């Protein structure tokens, strides 16, 4: 495996493996037909890993007193402790090499959220559970970008997940060498406008964090920085924030563009603001001006190319 290979964890059924209770799968077309061209998957089926057969009786989360079992509908065959133990093992041994994880939604082992927890009598349920395996992956790797297959059908959530995967991979590459404040500040400079588009307050806070650092513990600074960056990027960028960012970037060309070119740029941003065109339209125009009028600082901005253009993720947002 090459050092720059992006490794993604994935529920095996989403990769097309017939590991579900009914010998079926839930293959994700996006993950396997599009994203797979750019990443390498590590597949996990926690239920098979803890010894459950294929096919097998269905299992679900059941509240019994103060505990939750992962068992058959009749209450037998609890595998909750085994799923937790396996989750901890993967989270602490294998997940450190991953740059993201795609989980199978609604699964009592792999679901990220809103998993049904049944009462002991089986007469009702609440949607407040977390898959036992997924819970451990997320708990032990709070920076790791995670998403569910169903949510990836939403173009904004899909784009956001892929962007965070590439951001985290870039961070993983950065920390392979000893960090200092200069390298950390250079990294942040590249993410300035991407962060502005997603969370303006985080953009200001992280700039202040780095700008006022006077201590010696760069590791602590880096830990605070990457936590702030990944949390700041979690929410998809709003149309309003993207427009604000585009206008900031446009300002770099105010001395280079003719009045006609400036008007064309403003109209492209306005049409995006009104929902008439996708983000790709004004962004392409900005990239054109950047080629004609090179700017070393702007050329390093991740906002322009946060992931491979072949994924076409900005065509739909």
| pLDDT (tens digit per residue) in 259-299 | 999 999 999 999 999 999 999 999 999 999 999 999 999 99
pLDDT at 154: 96
H helix runs in 141-295, sequence order: 155-174, 181-190, 192-198, 200-211, 218-232, 239-250, 259-273, 280-292
| pLDDT top residue among 199 and 124 | 199
Helix axes 259-273, 239-250, angle to 10 degrees: 170
% of the chain with per-residue pLDDT over 90? 96
Determine the Cα–Cα distance for residues 153 and 150; give it in Å rounded to an integer: 6
% of the chain with per-residue pLDDT over 70? 99
pLDDT at 295: 96
Regarding beta strands 146-148 and 7-11, do their DSSP bridges make them parallel or antiparallel, or are they unpaired? unpaired
H helix runs in 39-191, sequence order: 46-49, 80-93, 132-140, 155-174, 181-190
pLDDT at 121: 87
Q: CA separation (Å) from 206 to 87, 141, 179?
A: 32, 21, 17
Report the Cα–Cα distance between both ends of the chain, in Å, rounded: 33
Average pLDDT, rounded, for the chain: 96
Determine the Cα–Cα distance for residues 288 and 282; give it in Å rounded to an integer: 10
Q: Looking at the predicted structure, is the pLDDT value of residue 54 above 70?
A: yes
Determine the Cα–Cα distance for residues 240 and 300; give it in Å rounded to an integer: 23
Q: Looking at the predicted structure, is the pLDDT value of residue 194 above 60?
A: yes
Domain ranges of the chain: 7-153, 154-317
């Amino acid at each position: 495996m090459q050092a720059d290979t992006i490794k993604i964890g994935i529920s095996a059924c989403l990769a097309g493996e017939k590991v579900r209770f009914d010998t079926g799968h839930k293959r994700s077309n996006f993950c396997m037909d599009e994203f797979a061209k750019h990443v390498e998957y590590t597949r996990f089926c926690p239920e098979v890993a803890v010894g459950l057969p294929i096919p097998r009786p269905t299992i679900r989360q059941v509240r019994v007193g103060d505990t939750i079992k992962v068992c058959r509908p009749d209450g037998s065959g609890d595998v909750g402790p085994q799923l937790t133990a396996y989750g901890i093992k993967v989270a602490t041994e294998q997940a450190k090499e991953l740059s993201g994880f795609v989980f199978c939604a609604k699964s009592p082992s792999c679901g990220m959220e809103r998993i049904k927890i049944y009462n002991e009598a089986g007469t009702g349920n609440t949607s407040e559970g977390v898959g036992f395996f997924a819970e451990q992956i997320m708990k032990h790797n709070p920076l790791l970008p995670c998403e569910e297959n169903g949510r990836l059908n939403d173009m904004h959530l899909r784009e956001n997940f892929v962007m965070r995967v590439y951001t985290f991979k870039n961070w993983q590459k950065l920390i392979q060498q000893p960090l200092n404040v200069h390298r950390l500040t250079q990294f942040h400079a590249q993410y300035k406008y991407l962060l502005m588009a997603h969370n303006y307050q985080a953009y200001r806070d992280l700039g202040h964090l780095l700008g006022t650092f006077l201590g010696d513990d760069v590791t602590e600074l880096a830990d605070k920085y990457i936590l702030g960056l990944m949390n700041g990027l979690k929410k998809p960028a709003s149309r309003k924030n993207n427009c604000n960012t585009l206008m900031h970037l446009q300002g770099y060309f105010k001395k280079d563009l003719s009045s006609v070119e400036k008007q064309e740029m403003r109209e492209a941003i306005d049409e995006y603001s009104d929902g008439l065109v996708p983000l790709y339209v004004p962004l392409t125009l900005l990239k054109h001006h950047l080629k004609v009028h090179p700017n070393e600082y702007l050329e390093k901005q991740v906002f322009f190319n946060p992931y491979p253009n072949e994924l076409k993720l900005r065509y739909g947002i």
